[in-house]
Structure 1
Amino acid sequence: MAISDYDADATELLETYVVWPDFLMKYIVIGEAGAGKSCLLHHFTHNSFKEHAQHTIGVEFSSRTVKLGEKRIKLQLWDTAGQERFRSVTRSYYRGAAGAILVYDITNRASFLNLSRWLADARALGSPNLVVVLVGNKSDREDDRQVEWAEASKWAAENDVHFLEASSLSGDNVEAPFLLCARSILLSIESGALDPEKAGSGVSYGDRALRRVNSSSRLSFGSLSGGRRKGSVRLKLPFPGSGRCC
């Protein structure tokens, strides 16, 4: 058997067991302390509620690979502390973020009133094409509500961000903000508004895209709507397996 045949067999076997992402995307999870950011993120990555959650000290990192259409996206998730004393540390992790999950507690009005500060920091330091999703957490505590859905929806519209409510306890709508953010970023890439090759975009091509590159180092990808799109984009990839984004 020719060496090329062995290579082909090895590649087929490897692709059977390894999930290769098309894109890596950097997210930040921000908002006031006690809003439930860590619990929301834990339910998204572990599909369970985080019992006895402690306040985040500095930042914590986690990741999850999701699939949208034919695209696999590895989300690199930076959970930031909400306390003021960590602000100078956490703000450094905002740089180059492609997406921001901005969380407030529907039972704590103060966490809602401070959203403008968090949004201003994220937009000042994140990617120029930063996608923001506002999440009203703890929707399971309707009897304790201090922020009405209509008020939060109006704020989101005025500040050009997406909005939804979720419950990190029950898991209701927990996946929606992360997937909505990823879909918006993919649409920006497809429209040409966002270039993954550009430094600070918060997005880079993953190993799956690398394996699709032909001898001219070019990649073609189809429309999110299911159609095919002509043309291609040049790839500039991080070292395979490094997990680096942007």
Structure 2
Amino acid sequence: MPWQLLESFHLFTVLTLCCLLGYWLLLRSAPGETQARAMALPAGKVHFKASEEWREVLPHHVLPNGLEIRFDLASGRNFARLGGSQSTGSRSDGSDEASVVKLLCDAATWGKQERVEQALQSCHFRPELLSAPLAEAAGRGHLEVSQALVTARADPLGKGPKGVTALHRAVMEGHEEVAQVLLRQCHALGVENPLAVEDDLGRTCLDCAIEQDLHGVARRLKALEAATEVESEVPPTQLRSISVD
């Protein structure tokens, strides 16, 4: 009986060691995931996108190592840029994407052009993340903010809740000048017939305009799209002025 207990104890010890070894090998096989978890940022914090130019450091920024820091005592503002040993910009692991989107959406909602441009310059983002802040700006008629986001390659047809796009938001609220900017951006991105894009209810942006009794807006946008299509098809030497009034 004693040797049977001893044999069972040895078997249990071997099995335990095998489990520990397997767990260690599993962690070794996924270093990227472990590193990503370790680099996760607190809510509201975003990675600072450094460059060779001085950029202002804002309270929500988390700075990478190796940057040159400058303190402006007169204004109380802080600035940072890449140090001499760094030849490329800092990188983000994507853990701050939700915070970047919220930061841009908050600024876009209130039409804070300077804050939006600061975030675009100093934060990491993928162009597809800009659809939400563009929809906020377009729906409130903030032209300058919409232009800044479009310049940063925001997609006017990126779908938000219920499939509504920034173009839908601008048109249904009657912000015609913003809608024109978005429509031109769609053509610049090579999108064909952007006015035909539907939301989850099957409505185009023109349908939304008609629902709001904005028939004039719908008519002028259709004319603008037709004029833009003509310009893209006709050689530059044959272009003529086309009225969209």
Q: Please indicate the TM-score interval, normalised by the length of the shorter structure.
A: under 0.3
* Structure possessing the higher relative contact order (Cα contacts under 8 Å, 6 or more residues apart): 1
Larger Rg: 2
What TM-score, normalized to structure 1? 0.27
Of Structure 1 and Structure 2, which has the larger fraction of its residues in helix? 2
